[in-house]
Homo-oligomer: A and B are copies of this chain.
Amino acid sequence: MTVTVTDISCTRGLRQVLQGVSFNLAPGDSLILRGPNGVGKSTLLRVLAGLGPVAGGTLDLNPDDVAYSGHLDAVKFQLTVQENLAFWAGVYDTDQTIEVIARFDLTKLKDRLAGSLSAGQKRRLGLARMVLSGRKIWLMDEPTTSLDAHHTALIAQSISAHCAGGGIAILSTHLDLDIPTARTLDLAQFIPTKTTDTSIFLQGSF
């Protein structure tokens, strides 16, 4: 279970967003993606999760190890906090719902409808799914959005613990998260300078 990314390019629509991204992660590693708005953090994470096309280079990771959380929380407003997690527990076939609820500080909220949570509470509920999935490779897009300082630290701890247990985490963030073992990758260096013409419609002229 490793992640090997070699010279990958990403496109979004017709636009080439990233070029030549490479990195290797072994169990226990974590990688923080940084870079200004619009550099391509979300795009790269979607590609890694198998939710976007690989426009060039090779990607070597087992999709069955991946758990993904994006800008959206994937939370059902009409279900309670516990029901939301119980559903994902069913999907990932585990029974850790209660433990996870406690770990993410959701015990008090557990019978509330998710629609009535505040922004940060929803976020926490969304992230709890990562632990529940039991999967080894976590891909998280700005996980601490809307979280207060206390819960930001809690998430950072969760990630550290996950990696300490042999997991891998790749996350994007604009904040400084306290994950001591994490490497940082600044995506700004992969902004395509001279775009290679990936589109077949740009090869040759007519």
Contact = CB atoms under 8 A, between A and B. Distances in A.
A120 interface: yes
**Copies of this chain in the oligomer:** 2
Interface residues of A, number: 26
Contacts of A42: 118-119
Contact of A38 (B13, B37, B117, B145): B117
A175 interface: yes
Contact of A145 (B12, B35, B117, B146): B146
B174 A38 contact: no
A113 to B, nearest CB: 9
Interface string A57-99: 0000000000000010000000000000000000000000000
Interface of A: 12-13, 35-38, 42, 71, 116-121, 124, 142, 145-152, 174-175
